[in-house]
Each structure stands twice: as C-alpha cells, then as structure tokens.
Structure 1
Amino acid sequence: MTIKLAMISPDSLPVPAVKGGAIQLGIQQIIDENEKLNMLDLTIYSIFDEEALAASEKYQNTRFHFIKSTNRSFTIKRINNVLNYLNIRHRFDVNPGYTKSLCEQLSQNRFDTIIIKNMVRFVEPISKITTDPIWLQLHNDNLNNCILRCKPIYRACRKVLVNSHYLKKRVLTIENARSEDVLVHKNCTDIHSFKKEQHSNEIKELKNKYKIHDDDIVILYSGRTVPEKGIKELIMAVKKLPENLKFKLLIVGSKGFGKKVTNIYLYKLKKIAGSISHKIIFTGFVQYHDLPKIHAISDMAVVPSIWEEPAGRVITEAMASGLPVIVSGSGGMEDYINKESTIIVRRGKAFVDNLSSEIKRLMEDKRLRERMGKAGQEFVKRFDSYIYYEQLIEFLKRQKGVF
C-alpha cells in the first residue's frame, strides 16, 4: 500500500537541496530513495528557487509545490536583519505571507500524513486548515517546556520525530507528553559520495588551491560560522600546538548557507588567529556536492560545539570519509559516535587545553588516525540513506495499521 505523504521544508532554503542545508539534504535523500523504491506517494512543499525548480524536473515519483516568498514589510526585514547580525535566535513569523500561501495550497489536498520539518511555527496554522495527521520532525531544540505555546503545538501533532535521544528528552519536558509519541529518527549520510577514493584525482588540485603542503596535517571544521559551534575555542586550541608541528586548519562554511549576511563573529575569529593566521584557511560557503572533496584532503575532523548540539550529520560525513573525529560530546552527538572512531573532549574550564592535547595526539600518530578512520567507516553504515528511508516507511505504516 502506497502512503500519501506531504513533506514541508523550512522556508529558508529550497528542495531539491541545490543550496545545501542539513534539513533540506535529509529531505533530498528521502526523495532520492523514493525514486528507487517508490513506496511513497510523495509531495514536497518548498520555497521557490529557479535552480531547484529545474532540478525537480528529473524526478518521476515526487511532486513539488514551490511557494514564492512574499515581500515582507520593511519593519519585519529590519528586525530580522538586526537579530541575525547580533546572532540572536528568534521564533516569530518573519514571513507570514509564505505561511498563508502554504496553508492555502495544503487545504486543496488530502494526505495520509503531513510531516513539517523543524518549523514549529507552521504547526498551529496548518492544524486549522486540515484534519490530516500532522507530524513535526525536529532537527533543533525547538519544542520543550520553555517554548511559548508548547502544549497546544504538541497536542496538534500526532507524532513528533526527533534526530537524537537528547531532543526526545527535551520534548518530554512538556506536560503530558508521551514517550511513545516521540520517535527517534536519526540523520542519514550519503556514504558513497563521501568515500575518499571517489575523489583521489582531485586531491592535488585542491591542496594547491588552498596552499596546503604534502607534509601538512589538515584539521577540518565543517559547519556554520556562528559562536555556538566552538570555532573560537578550536582556533585557541590549535594556537597551543607546538610550533614544529606542520598543519592547516580548514574552516569550511559560512553563517547563512551561502547567503550574503554580515558576520561579525568571522571577523573576531580572524583576529584571534593572529600569529598563526597563515595556518588557518577560511573557505567560506562550499556547495554540498564539493564537501566530499574537502574531506578527501583532510586528516581529521573536529566538532567542537559549545552548545547542546541536537545531532551529528557532520560527524557521520567525516566518518564516511575515513576521518578520525574529535567531538565535544554535547547534546545528541553521542547517538552518532562510538569509542573506536571518536574522541570525546568534554566542555569545561579545561576544554581548550584538552582539545589541543587530543589534536596533538592524533597529529603525531598516523596509525591511530588510520585505525579510527577505518572504525568510523564501518560504524557509519548504520546511518545510510536507505536505512533512513526504510525507518520512515516503518513509522508511517504503524500509524496506518499496516505491518
């Protein structure tokens, strides 16, 4: 029996995931698996984008509804820009016209299930225009007992999907939330694309581009350049490394997924780099299809988050590339690691010193790097896109009473 599913992407980036974005990439992998297995009658609701529209035309088993972002008022734009500039998180609806258009389109169709991806503010408006079961799939800590109107939002959802046990615990802080209605659906990774051998012919060219010498140990950070990701602490840690160690620190990513936004934090990072600025390379935004090449020239990956990281896609991408990984172990990270492939450096007063020591240990021990890398490649198989798709199908069948 085919399940009729609507999946609603956040209104920040489009699907197909032509501009990246962790949530959009997860949707993309569901779409790609459905092209092969066709177990879903799948409809995607996404913000309009010319490139995404063109990319959508190749899919046979998915319908796409693209919604154009309406012109926001000058006041809303101004407030949003100021909050982003100051790195202040907010949850008010900065695009009410988009929400209205989305609801209008949804009201014209019926589905077995509607999955809202991470957009808590969509739940109540959508629940008012349909009786179809709504599932909220969380990728961030957006629904807990501290969130305004958390109870009615939770009650409007038939199920809540989360990508780590940490997020499940957070949702269960809501009064009368039931464990059986909060399902853990861990992130997936395109394991094949991240295999290092796929990109062996491009390593020399990429090293030349970033002025990386053959005897440099390459330390990789991949993610957004925002304070909670711990990049400042990582730079402080590598500044403590002995001067005789040859390395390059690759900081891959931007604040706004390729959008031109002012990032005062990035200026601070470059200032902190100071005397070792020649050893630190800020690549800026890199398209997702080019990320495996960056991993291919790296020797280790560091995920130094100083907030409660909800999950760990960058961890599994590094493992798929055969890289040993150092993490802070915060939030939901521990759902994505094992002791054979990952070193945990706990946050605290000695975080920077301990992080520096573990980086140094990996730099000086090639055999350890190789052993951890191989263990990671084996461990990451459980996060394959196919397993992610199959688990979603299983969850949906249970709701319909089909086993």
Structure 2
Amino acid sequence: MKMKYILLSLLLVGFAPSHAQFGKLKKGLKKIKRKKKSAKKEQKKVQGRMDGEPVQNDRDPISRAHESAKSKLANIEKTVSKEGWEKDYFARGRTWIEGYFKSIRKRLDKLKADASESKKPYYKKHEEKYTQLLQQYQKAIGGAKATSDYKNLFYRWSGKLRRVSEMYITDQKFIETAEDVKYVAYKKKKEAYTASGNRSSYTDKMIAKCDEFYNKTASEQMVPRMTKVADKAVKASYKKNEGDFDEPWQQGPENCINQLNDILKSVDALEKLCVTKNTELDKIRQKLTQEKKKFEEYISSGRYKAYQAKVWQQVLDSRTMGNLGMRNARIEGLARQAFANKGQVMRVVINSTGWGVAKNKYTSLPRYQFLNATIAVKGKDGKCYRYKGDARKEYLGGGRYGGVYIYKWDNQDEMSCANVNK
C-alpha cells in the first residue's frame, strides 16, 4: 500500500516539469507559424516591388492608375481568349472593350508622365500587354467592321434608291440624290464588296434590291415617267390659258426655256441610274433641245421684244380714268395739291356718286366718310400715270364728321396719255 503512494508521488513530481515544457513547445509552434505567414506576405510584396508596382492605396493617383489599368487589361484578356468571341461581341455592337482601351490608355499615360513610374518594369509590362491586346482586337474587328460597314452602306443605298423612285422626277432633290447613287458608283462599291470576302446574307439581300432598281425600275418605270413629263411640258408651252393674250411661249419664252432646262437636267440624272445607254432618254433629250432652240431663236430674232412692246401698248391703252361720278371743285383742288409732287396733275376724276361710310368691322360704328378718285399725272419722264386716292372725313362722334383731306393710295399705273380724258 505504501509502495502505491510512493510511486504516485514520484509520478506527480516528474509530470510537473514536463507539463511546463509542453506549454513552451506549443507557444513556439505558434510563433513559427506566424513567422511563416508573415514571410509569405513579405514575399508577395517583394515580388510586386521587384516589378516596381506601387502598394495599393486608394488615395494615391499612381496606385489608382496602376490598379485600374491592370484590372481592365485582365478583363479584356479574359474576353478575347475565348474562341469566337468577336462574333457575339460585334453582333451586339462594339461597346465596352473600346471604352476600356480608352480608359487604359488614359491611365498608362498618367503613369508614363511620371518620371519614376515610367521606368519601372510593371509599367513596361502594362504597355506590352496593352499593345498586344489592342493589335489582337484590331485584327478581329477588321473583318467584323468591314462586314458591318458593308451592311450599313448597302442598307442606306437601297433606301436612297427607294426614295428616288418615289420623288417627283424633275425636282431638284431628285437630281441631287440621283447623283449620289449613280450606277457607276454603285458598281464600284459592289465589286469591292464581292472581292472583300466580308459578305453576309443581309448585305446580299440589300444588293439584290439595288440591282432590281438599276436593271428594271430605272429603265422600265422611271424612263416612261420622264417621257410623259417632257411631253406635258412641251404641250404646256403652246397651251393658251384663260385670260392670257397669247400662248405661254410667246408671252414668256424664258420661262419655257428654264422649264425645259430643268427637265433636261433630270434626264441627265436619270441616265446615270441606267445600267446601259437608254435610247428613249436620247429621244426625250432631242425633242426638248429642238423646242428650246425654237424659243431661243424667237428671243434672238427680236420678235419677242416686238411682241412685248405690242402687248404693253395694249395694256396702256386699256387703262382709263374710270366713270365720272360727281364733280366737287374743292375736293378736286385738294387732290391736285396732294399729288403735285408726283408731276403735272392733268385731271382729277371723282368716281363715287356720293359719300360712302367705312365702319368698324367689330362695332359697326362709323370710322370715316370717303369719295374714291382717280388722278392723272404726267411724270418727269414724260409718261402718264394714274393714281388712286380718297377724299375722307373722319368720324368725330355724335353724328359729326371732321374736315376733308386726301388719302393717297400706294399705287401707280402707267397709262396712255391719250386716255387721260377717257
């Protein structure tokens, strides 16, 4: 029994120092782990600093420029490493990658502007990766961009052709648009597209529409329309309108010539839309040119000038003083005084038979009384003119009117001096 207690005592005495040593060992192990962890962090920092990368600091502009460029380059690299990425990307339109390249360039320029940072390896690596990715991107967009550009080109081209076919054929807008989409230019664009290797079913569809216009619409629909327009214009030159003295070409050959010239311009424009030379357009051009020569000869021969003189004399002879309504020596004297500054007053005719009353159109109250008059004056150029004027009396209210005065109308008609007394 005593032996048991002795052994137990010895065991307790031996365990006490061992337990103390075990605690020290445990603390040592923890310390070693902390050192290893710290060493790994330090190793990463050292590696970053070996390339010269700045320590991440959101308040430091250099650090922000580096982190932004680094992150965006990684995103672009991740995207372009996928097979067939450009098809999906360009189908939705170039958006974020181009924006990223601009942003990266801006950040790299900021680092480049810093004399210290621009010499560090990390900056040079950024520049190398930027150049590599940009070249890869530009190579990819070469074909995609060309395909997209051709789509837009022939889509707009077919739209212009549709509008041309709907325009009034002698309109200036038709002439301008036809010049933009002439067949020779279209043929070159089409040949370039065919040889490019950047074809698409959509672009082929647009080209088919354009071909139909040039091969059929222009020659089979628009040329006949042009024939009708030309025939109508020629007939209009000889059609006497109601109230006219003579036919349009006699009264205004210049207008007829201008109209034919406009149609000839449209003929030239339409010819540029035809695939081959169109004989119908040649016939239209020949017909219009012949008519134009007739009108030009009419002018150059002096016959038009003689016609103008004859018609003008007819106009002068048609102008008279009008009917005499009443006589009033006082009013006639006031009229002579009022128009004395125009020249020699030859005659005053009061055309009204009595005083008229002009009323307010809203209240129907009187405004003034009036007498219409015609005044014949011989001007300083020796020609006779007729003027219109009123003798007026303003309404004062209560049934009373003021004194007479002459109101001069702003008009002047030349007349034959022989008609002053008519």
Higher Cα radius of gyration: 2
Calculate the TM-score normalised by the size of structure 2: 0.19
Return the structure number with greater strand share.
Answer: 1
